[in-house]
Structure 1
Amino acid sequence: MTEEAAEPLDRGERRQLDVVRRFGTTGSLVLAIGSIGAGAAPVDNPLSGARLIGLPVRVPTVAMACCWLGILMIVVAWLWLGRLCWPGRGRMLSVTQLARTLAMWALPLALAPPLFSTDMYSYLAQSEVAARGFNPYVLGSAAALGVDHPFTANVPNIWRDTPSPYGPLFLMFGQVISRIVGDNVVFGVLVWRAVMLCGLALAIWAIPRLARRCGVHPAAALWLGAANPIVLFHVVSGMHNEALMVGIMLAAIELGLRYQTVPGTIAAGVLLSVAGAIKPPGWIALGFFGIYLALRKGGRFRDLVQVAALLTAVFLTTMTVITVASGWGLGWIDTFDVPNRVKTFMAPLTAFGMTGGGLSTLLGLGNQTDAMLVITKIVGYLVVAVVCLQMLWLSFRGRIEPLAGLGITYLTLALAVPVLWPWYLLWSVAPLALATNNSRFRVTAAVICAAVSLFVPPTGAGFPLRAYQIPLAVIAAVIAFAITLWLVRGKVPRLLPTRGGVRPVTQ
């Protein structure tokens, strides 16, 4: 159902929206308070000595319980919100109402200490390495800055000796930030968070506009693509640079489709190349953007060749300029494999390879884990290449929306690469959210996003010396969460659809 066909919420639904907003905002505030004592705080926590605001630092179990309670409240509030903007409803939440709700939920997390990840400290350290004139694709932060540097001290041990896995433009921008913040960790975190929020703002601007082009209600797309708890937890709070990559990518596609002239195409191609220069998966979008342009030109094979030639030239020119300007040469190509040094069972093919290696040891065939992981990595990249080419072809033939093809390719990439982190799902969620109304997909995506949001601990690390705190904190959080649900019973939308309540849309 289009935005024009849907009516605004009635009085009863607006009351439900108010309750959902307050419930989610309360959860965000509780999570922000818990982050002081159970978040990914710096080693030298500036709040640890404060009398009142530093209290959560001195009661970590309570702080952890607050974090889990806040997480549960935000996730459930998001699911309730989705019932008010589900495709096919006769009355829909407006984009403005949803954007205001997102702002209410995001603000406490934007002002709180980091949660769920310590990657932002790696951003600071690697940017400082570059700012000091070292090559970040050769030296890790420990070798370049020393282990006693405040930035290095906050980087997990496994990443201190590794070169940067990020694109050259990201580190060039980081150089500027390093010169601004000096060695002030807190100031650096705040500046990086502001940068990531700018990337999120670009995505929020582009998603409704692209959704209209694909026949999806903008609010429905924004709910799944930007108000998602993974975005709140791992972009607003965790500050992952997926925000910049996805935001620039979506904005570039929208601008390129809006201004279909040669200068407009070149500008969009430059922006898409820039997105990949921040994080390499962004380059994949160039192909699907080219499909859009080829179809608009007539959909002939020669149109595809012409567009591909133009975008390839733009990509090569842009990356040549960035590479020369950085002064680091082509070292960024050699570091694509850096994230894969962490072995995680979350990645399906890596889990298969590690399991196979363990079985080979049990069977007396020797430890073949490394060999198995090499094979699974090659298989994974081959699968991604095949799926990408298939999606490009299906998009060109008009059998699938190019943005949907891009989302499927990103999902395959996230699942097939040797390492998988929850925020990698953001690569695919945003394009798919604005490209399809399919109810089965949206239900599946909502369930997966809700489950994944509960998977990562708020500290962004394990609890080797305080594992006993986890069950106590979780039990307390669940009890408090049950009480909050009882308090709002009958005042919020039903999570499960009622008979005849929502007409399914299968676009």
Structure 2
Amino acid sequence: MTSERRRKQAQDLPFRAGSPRLPRSAADERLVGGVRGRLAVPGLVMIAVSVLLTITIGLLGPSPMVPALGGPAWQPSYSFDARPDPYLVIVLAAAAIVVGGLGLLAALAAVPRDRLRPDPRLLVLFGCLAAGVLAFLPPSGSGDHLNYAAYGRMVTLGLNPYTHGADDLPGDPIADAVERPWREEPSVYGPVATALQALASWIGGDSLRLTIFVLAVFNAAAFIVTALLVDRFTRHDPARRRRAALLWAANPLLLYHLVAGMHADTLAIACMVAALLARARPLASGLLLGLGVATKLNAGLVALGPAWELRRRPGRLAVMAAAALAVVIAGYAIVGPEAITPVTTTSKAISHVSFWKLVQGWLWALVGTGSAYRGEIQVGALMVLGLVAWSLLRLASRRAAAGQAAPGGLEAPVVAAALVVAYLFATPYILPWYDGLAFGMLVLVGASAVDGFVVVHLLVLSLAYLPARVDGQPPGLEWLSGVVRPQIAWALLALTVALTVWAWRAGGRVRRPPASAAPPP
């Protein structure tokens, strides 16, 4: 086997363990392959249905899922003013999430056995077309895009979005649209995101509808560019190319959150994916890393991947780090040091769906309610992050030692994927669209059970935040946020434990081949 072929195989299977403890018989293999084969077509159909449901939610117009947009009706974004029944729209969203998540799991299960045979280019085309359509519809699922428009408006009016909230612009047609509980909150986004928000506001003027459309175009373009970059990166391996298309371009959950939801995370992910693919050119990679961090600060975790890969090449590492720091420092120098304060405040928050909310409740019961225990929880989260990351990296490194990974050790995408997945499973503050960064990293490495864990993680989070709005919700559904959301924390805790146990046990099954064994032909 050539070193090039071994390198490609290493990239394909960074987290997969060695042979199972109990090898399957040929009949078992045929049975498993047959079951997976039968899942392929239903999985693709379910993905298509989910995306159509997401498009339908936007087309129906203002609802509990879709905030109303002011501005001339002839301007994009476009939708019918159908005034759908609130409960119907919530059901449509739940169906889009469940059908899409299960369809994605089924389709991914068919890839390793080559039971999924559509041209990967069709999957990429489907996802890109869906993203293009969604850009012309009003965003759905949350009200974050209203905040983006307000922050851009502040810049054009001479206010600092890092020290002011929407309440500081009373009577403004853009700021008045911001929903509770975010009206007093300053921006937590980086200077690159703020610059794009300001540009959209400059183009949109007093029209919220047009401002949101410009932001949606930026967002959809970032999603599509990422899809095309990933497709080109995986073009030499049809199975890997199909898996990458499913995990990103045709992923119904990402289309639901990143594109229909129009979250700024999409922009940061595009920069980070491009940076990892360009890491042979340290200057370009560093500039892209800096743009990603200056869009959303937590994306900076990805930079540890290239840093690890270049640890023995200090010159190239210095160029990459200097370029990244130059972009970040220049960006924050322009917007001012006030931009750091909102980020540090948010970093201490705890999501209602996070299993750390359970820990906080236990501490209240045991010690007392005199403290929020945020410091203790932050320390605990770092410990869990380290444990999950160590388990994943241990598995990958043992594969490298056993000759199942690339000569030279762990590559940047593997390290970045492990760290990002560990962060998302351990962080006290988690929202569904944060998982997009994990998918952006996983498409650059090989298939493993991690794919399934991350899909289920996003599926569970999506159901917890159905929808991620406070305003405009129908009466009688308070139990979705008051009862269901806190209970889902138990599912996230179970997923984190399961991922750690799987990675640790899988790493223990990897065995170094005998020294005398000849490499396979």
- Could you tell me the TM-score, scaled by structure 1's length? 0.74
Gap change, CA 1:214 and 1:161, over 3 Å in 2: farther
Select which of 172, 184, 194 maps to 1:171.
194
Contact 1:288 1:392 in 2 (8 A): no
Per-residue CA deviation, residues 24-78 of structure 1 (Å, 9 max, x unaligned), is 454344333455433231376988xxxx932334x33333334434444444444
Question: Is the 8 Å Cα contact of residues 245 and 275 (structure 1) preserved in structure 2?
Answer: yes
Cα displacement string for residues 107-134 of structure 1 (whole angstroms, at most 9, x for unaligned residues): 5533332211111111111121122222
Which residue is equivalent to 2:83? 56
Equivalent position of 1:377 in the other structure: 378
Shift of 1:185: 1.1
Moved more, 422-431 or 64-73: 64-73
- Cα offsets for 1:308-350 (capped at 9, x unmatched): 32222222322233234x2x32222222224347542322334
Residue by residue over 1:140-182, the C-alpha shift from the partner in whole angstroms, topping out at 9 and shown as x without a partner, is: 2322x22x32332222333222221111121122222211111
Structure-2 separation of matches of 1:127 and 1:351:
37
- Which one-letter code corresponds to 1:111 in the other structure? F
Paired residue for 1:82, among 88, 91, 108?
108
> Which stretch shifts more, 87-96 or 169-178?
87-96
Match of 1:93 in 2: 118
Residue of 339, 342, 346 corresponding to 2:353: 346
Query: Cα–Cα, structure 1 residues 163 and 340, in superposed 2: closer, same or farther, change >3 Å?
Result: same
Aligned partner letter, 1:65: V
- Cα offset, 1:465, TM superposition: 5.4
Partner Cα separation in structure 2 for residue 242 and residue 55 of structure 1 = 30
Shift of 1:22: 5.6
In the aligned structure 2, how far is the partner of 1:387 from the partner of 1:312?
26
SS at match of 2:68: coil
Aligned in 2, Cα 1:269/1:155: closer, same or farther, shift over 3 Å? same
1:320 aligned onto 2:337: no
Q: 1:314 to 1:218 in 2, by over 3 A?
A: same
- Residue 334 of structure 1 aligns with an amino acid whose one-letter code is T
226-235 vs 240-249, which moves further: 226-235
**SS in structure 2 of the partner of residue 37 of structure 1:** coil
Residue type of the alignment partner of 1:435: V
Partner of 2:291: 274
Question: What is the CA-CA distance between 1:302 and the residue it aligns to?
Answer: 4.2
Corresponding residue number in structure 2 for 1:452: 461
Distance, in Å, in 1 between the alignment partners of 2:39 and 2:377 is: 50
**Root-mean-square deviation (Å):** 3.9
**Deviation of residue 426 (structure 1)?**
1.3
Distance 1:114 1:358 in 2: 41
What is the correspondence of 1:98-109 to structure 2 with a 5 Å cutoff? Answer: 98-109=123-134
Indicate how the Cα distance of structure 1 residues 312 and 40 shifts in structure 2: closer, same or farther if over 3 A, else same.
same
Compared with structure 1, are the counterparts of its residues 418 and 24 closer, same or farther at alpha carbon in structure 2 (3 Å cutoff)? closer
How do 1:400-439 residues align onto structure 2 when only pairs under 5 Å count? 400-438=410-448
1:214-261 CA distances to partner (integer Å, 9 max, x unpaired)?
9971110221233223311111111111110111111122133xxx3x
Q: Quick check: 1:349–1:376 contact (8 Å CA) kept in 2?
A: yes
Of the structure 1 ranges 236-245 and 207-216, higher mean CA displacement relative to structure 2 is found in: 207-216
Q: Distance in 2 between matches of 1:248 and 1:83?
A: 29
The answer as to whether partners of 2:47 and 2:104 remain within 8 angstroms in 1 is no
Matching residue's letter, 2:375: V
Structure 1 pair 124/381, CA: closer, same or farther in 2 (3 Å)? Answer: farther
Structure 2: runs of 5+ lacking an equivalent: 10-37, 74-78, 402-407, 481-509, 511-521
Give the TM-score taking structure 2 as reference length. Answer: 0.72
Aligned residue for 2:518? Answer: none
1:248 and 2:274 correspond: no
**Cα 1:336–1:381, aligned 2, differ >3 Å: closer, same or farther?**
farther
1:368-423 Cα offsets, whole Å, 9 max, x none, are 332x1221123324654787799889779955443122122112222333311011
Q: Quick one: distance in 1 between partners of 2:391 and 2:443?
A: 20
Matching of residues 31-50 of structure 1 within 5 Å: 31-34=57-60, 36-42=62-68
Q: Offset of 1:358 from its aligned partner? A: 4.3
Partners of 1:139 and 1:163 within 8 A in 2? yes
Question: What does residue 229 of structure 2 align with?
Answer: 206
Alignment-mate amino acid for residue 82 of structure 2:
L
Range with greater deviation from structure 2 (115-124 or 454-463): 454-463
Q: Which amino acid aligns with 1:128?
A: R
Question: Helix, strand or coil for the counterpart of 2:257?
Answer: helix
- Of the three residues 155, 160, 179, the one matched with 1:130 is 155
Q: Secondary structure at the match of 2:430?
A: coil
Amino acid at match of 1:158: P
Relative to 1, partners in 2 of residues 1:181 and 1:302: Cα closer, same or farther, differing over 3 Å? same
- The percentage of counterpart residues that share the same residue type is 19
Distance 1:91 1:248 in 2: 30
Amino acid at match of 2:381: G
Amino acid at match of 1:181: G
Distance 1:25-1:118 versus aligned 2 partners, 3 A rule: closer
Q: CA deviation at 1:278?
A: 0.2
Cα deviation for residue 197 of structure 1 reads 0.7
Matched, 1:311 2:320: yes
SS across alignment from 2:63: helix
Corresponding position of 2:363: 356
In the alignment, the residues of structure 2 paired with residue 417 and residue 17 of structure 1 have an alpha-carbon distance, to the nearest angstrom, of 31
Partner of 2:217: 194
Q: Which residue of 2 aligns with 1:333?
A: 340
Post-superposition Cα deviations, 1:178-235, rounded to whole Å, max 9, x if no partner, equal 1111121111111111111111022102223444699971110221233223311111
Structure 1 gaps of 5+ residues are 4-11, 295-300, 362-366, 472-505
Equivalent position of 1:30 in the other structure: 56
Counterpart of 2:253 in structure 1 is 230
Please, which of 128, 140, 163 is the counterpart of residue 115 of structure 1? 140
SS at match of 2:418: helix
Name the counterpart of 2:302: 285
- For 1:443 and 1:314, how far apart are their aligned partners in 2? 35
Going from structure 1 to structure 2, the CA distance change for 1:80 and 1:106 (only over 3 Å counts) comes to farther
Could you say what secondary structure the match of 2:464 adopts?
A: coil
Cα distance in 1 for residues equivalent to 2:72 and 2:109: 41
